[in-house]
Structure 1
């Protein structure tokens, strides 16, 4: 006898990234190629990437933050952070290695780590309908599907995007671990900015992010934001007390 949980798992397993592709992009992919460069395919990929600009981050929507950032907004600042880090500041995080981290690789990982969310959406741990295993399955299926779309135009990049995504997903190297920390750090910055803007107390985002940062350099950067936040809250309290 099939249980309700098994039925739900079966229903979820039917999810396919192709079904999440907007109709006009599906039509573009099904068109005969008009030139040998396979521009239709890469154009379809670029249009799928646009969906990241159009989707708001679920956590902020859940907390009713007005005009919240998109998934693309989050990934963009992560990439800027990755580019701007001082590679020599990570010596204490990998004392056995003499070579600094490859920040170009960090930037690339940051740019693709959430790219599957263009079709999967921003699924959070709060989602009661989609568990972690199913979320991972959907994202892996999606990155493989995107690689299939890219391959006719640029097979090298098709392989690279999967490798970079797997680097992050499986934390396969030091650069991926740095980006994982950048992901938490960027969330801390964004939380503080929304607290200033809305007056909401969103500390639970800061608390959960800070405790999961592993590298000393990113933790130090995060602590600077925490200090700035504390000074802001004190000044706000002082200002309210004088009114």
Structure 2
């Protein structure tokens, strides 16, 4: 019989919160039924299967995608709009990770912490690639909202924020393809209106 003091179910409850936790950036911009944190991490993880690069550990990248926002199950999705400094955000998230890994030592909790810290420190090729995937998923989602809501360039700020920040060649190619596809959204718009963000 399984020990009744196992914390696995409590860990599952925390992870379950991520399935329903909306991403703050979309909430602020009044996107209805917006993407959740878990949805964001899932697509990032799936993108690792498409990478053909041989200069990074893809399995480690996959795990990092699934770990990098775990702390948000406790602290929420903190952004600069939340009035929290970068330093305080990092402190809160690190403390949250400590709480989570103490629940599941049987699930290699220390490894989850090391993956989180590796991503935060951005000092390995794997961490840098996962950050690229993080940004790429964000602009993919922005494009999908613009397309589905028929609001070309309404979320231009997300593209501006990531411009020139992608480092991995494969992800850069995906970004170029997305930008080309996105340009088609504005092609039919006349009289220069496509140059103005629709939520400005």
Aligned match of 1:132: 86
The runs of 5 or more residues in structure 2 that have no matched partner are: 191-200
User: Is the aligned partner of 1:207 residue 2:160?
Assistant: yes
- Residue of structure 1 aligned with 2:34, choices 61, 68, 73: 68
Aligned match of 1:123: 78
Aligned match of 2:7: 41
Q: 1:208 to 1:168 in 2, by over 3 A?
A: same
Structure 2-normalised TM-score? 0.88
TM-aligned CA deviation for residue 37 of structure 1: 7.9
Query: What does residue range 146-161 of structure 1 map to in structure 2 within 5 Å?
Result: 146-151=100-105, 154=106, 157-161=108-112
Q: Deviations over 1:196-226 (max 9, x none)?
A: 0113310111111233212222122111100
Q: Deviations over 1:93-141 (max 9, x none)?
A: xxxxxxx21111110000000010011101111222x211111110000
SS at match of 2:19: helix
Say which is worse superposed, 56-65 or 164-173, in terms of deviation: 164-173
TM-aligned CA deviation for residue 36 of structure 1: 3.9
Provide the C-alpha distance between the structure 2 equivalents of 1:56 and 1:160, rounded to a whole number of angstroms: 26
- Residue of structure 2 aligned with 1:112, choices 62, 67, 81: 67
| Structure possessing the higher radius of gyration over alpha carbons | 1
Aligned match of 2:95: 141
Q: Deviations over 1:124-181 (max 9, x none)?
A: 11222x2111111100000011111112xx0x61111001111101113111110000
- Superposed CA RMSD: 1.6
Instruction: Tell me, yes or no, if the aligned pair for 2:51 and 2:170 is still in contact at 8 Å.
Output: no
- Residue of structure 2 aligned with 1:219, choices 166, 172, 190: 172
The runs of 5 or more residues in structure 1 that have no matched partner are: 1-33, 89-99, 239-243
Which has the larger helix fraction? 1
Provide the C-alpha distance between the structure 1 equivalents of 2:184 and 2:46, rounded to a whole number of angstroms: 26
- Residue of structure 2 aligned with 1:181, choices 121, 126, 132: 132
Provide the C-alpha distance between the structure 2 equivalents of 1:85 and 1:173, rounded to a whole number of angstroms: 17
Aligned match of 1:237: 189
- Residue of structure 2 aligned with 1:169, choices 120, 125, 132: 120
Provide the C-alpha distance between the structure 2 equivalents of 1:35 and 1:101, rounded to a whole number of angstroms: 39
Aligned match of 2:181: 228
Structure 1-normalised TM-score? 0.73
Aligned match of 1:28: none
